[in-house]
Amino acid sequence: MNNTTTLTDELTGKSGIQTDHGGIDIGDIIVLLLDAVLLIYTAWRSYDFLSTTVPSGFEILGLVGLWGLDIGAIAWSLVWIFGSSTKYQDWTSMAFFLLDLAGVILTSLTDSLMYGAKDGAMTNVLSGVSTVAIPLIVVANVVAGFIYHMTSPRTKAMREERAAEAEHRRKMGEIAAMERDLLYAEAYLLAKQDTLDKAVLLAEIKKSQDAVEKSTRDSLRDQVGIRTAATSKAGEKMDELKTRLAEMTKKLTAPKTDETPAPEISQSPAPQENLIPILQIPPADLIRFPAQISCNLGGQTIQAGDELTAKKNVDRYDIGRPNALNAFANVSEEDFKVLHNGLPLIPEMALVKGNGHGKTDPI
């Protein structure tokens, strides 16, 4: 079987070329030949007219103008038959096919009159109209080309996809902004909670300090002796307050495991003039001795064997630590002897009466 195709088969649509009505028959071929021959005439007329509207030496622009007239009419008819697929493309291709044909008719008629009735009234009218209308038709073809591409289904699909991507980016940007705001809010709340925790600890420390200060002032005001401080419940209570104060201070200053330790803030030592007399002990004339009893003295815990320094001041003694500049307590001579020598052998516990100058009496 012969599978070769002839030129007639190609032209009639039996193989290859397909149209909207299924193929090209003999009538289509005749009409196409007729149009092709006649378009040679109209194209020459259009070129001849267009060449008269351009400066001398630029006649080539007349051939360019044919793309908006004769060639344009052929192009828009083929677009309408084979290419357009939307309502706007159909309207555009058919409208400019008719518009280009009108331009072909106008240029052909005007060019013919320019040779047959050069000075006629109709020639002058059509020449003036053509001079304005033909450039407008050519420019309109340029605009129509943009409209055709802008209204194509592919362009519409790409625009919808681009719009969807832009909307997606916008929404993702909103989510990113919300996550950022939540992160900042979380950091703020954590920092505020940490600040509140520190404020609570500081308040507890202040309360404990006030209690220690009050207890010390009461002890100095009542002149309770060292022996009473060593054995009384007040001394035990003060030890408990001091221990709790140390624990809270350690908890406040200890850095968190998941945070970089914050730089320490230097603080001036709390004034002690309300606690004990600030009495500087010069390096000379000091009495160095180990404590013979355990007690709480001037807000400080004394253990048996601790090294102490003392200096006599009239009939009382200023007590301090070795190498310290200030004393932390001022005691009577009898209380100093208890610290220096230990408790006397008495049958029961004794209290120091009065302001520290009285005698010890058995309880």
- C-alpha 168/C-alpha 179 separation (Å) is 16
The domain boundary, picked from 95, 124, 151, lies at: 151
Which pLDDT value is given to residue 346?
47
- The closest of 306, 293, 296 to 242, measured between CA atoms, is 296
- Residue 100's Cβ-count burial label (10 Å; 0-12, 13-18, 19+) is buried
Q: What's the token pair of residue 162?
A: 């681009």
Which pLDDT value is given to residue 280?
56
Domains held by the chain: number: 2
The domain boundary, picked from 151, 186, 214, lies at: 151
Same domain, 125 and 202: no
Which pLDDT value is given to residue 184?
94
- C-alpha 162/C-alpha 103 separation (Å) is 39
Same domain, 205 and 342: yes
**Side-by-side strand order, sheet with 329-332:** 287-290, 307-313, 316-320, 329-332
DSSP classification of residue 332: E
Higher pLDDT, 190 or 224: 190
Is residue 60 pLDDT above 90, yes or no? Answer: no
Residue 174 counted as domain residue: no
DSSP classification of residue 84: -
Residues 6+ apart with CB under 8 A from 231: 349
Q: pLDDT tens digits, residue range 154-213?
A: 888 888 899 999 999 999 999 999 999 999 999 999 999 989 988 998 898 888 888 888
Q: Name the CA radius of gyration of the chain, rounded.
A: 57
* Helix pair 87-116, 26-51: axis angle to 10 deg: 60
Work out the percent of the chain whose per-residue pLDDT is above 90: 11
Buried b (16+ CB within 10 A) or exposed e, 231-261: ebebbeebeebbeebeebeeeeeeeeeeeee
Residues 6+ apart with CB under 8 A from 289: 307, 308, 310, 339, 340
- The closest of 72, 60, 52 to 140, measured between CA atoms, is 72
Higher pLDDT, 293 or 7: 293
- C-alpha 329/C-alpha 226 separation (Å) is 11
Which pLDDT value is given to residue 7?
45
Which pLDDT value is given to residue 237?
63
The domain boundary, picked from 151, 182, 213, lies at: 151
Residue 203 counted as domain residue: yes
Give the domain extent around 312: 196-253+277-362
